[in-house]
Amino acid sequence: NAGVTQTPKFRVLKTGQSMTLLCAQDMNHEYMYWYRQDPGMGLRLIHYSVGEGTTAKGEVPDGYNVSRLKKQNFLLGLESAAPSQTSVYFCASSYAAGEQYFGPGTRLTVT
């Protein structure tokens, strides 16, 4: 039982490049979330999903897209990376509205 895993752990992108962050959970959770964490800003919700095939916008969705084609995976895409997207990205999952399990984070730098 791996819990919540995130791939990759680190990445450096040039401005304008694209990439996809993968979040996977093996707990059969319905809800999945993508957050970004910046110094002094706490965690901000980017997008979330309440079930396979569903997605919804969070607080800071601009510049990101997501997909939940399979229940266990939640993908976060950056189509054209910008320096403002330099951050640590956390994925989380939960069965319903209770305990969220967080992944270890992905540190992304955009130059």
Which residues of this chain interact with other proteins, rule CB under 8 A?
A: 31, 33, 35, 40-45, 48, 50, 56, 58-59, 90, 92, 97-105
Nearer to other proteins, 17 or 86 (CB): 86
CA 12, CA 49: separation in Å to the nearest integer?
27
Q: CB of residue 6 vs other proteins: minimum separation in angstroms?
A: 9
Nearer to other proteins, 17 or 37 (CB): 37
Nearer to other proteins, 47 or 81 (CB): 47
Q: CB of residue 20 vs other proteins: minimum separation in angstroms?
A: 20
The residues, any chain, with a CB within 8 Å of residue 4's CB and separated by 6 or more, are 23, 24, 25, 27, 91, 92, 93, 101, 102, 103
CA 64, CA 55: separation in Å to the nearest integer?
12
- Hey, is 84 helix, strand or coil? helix
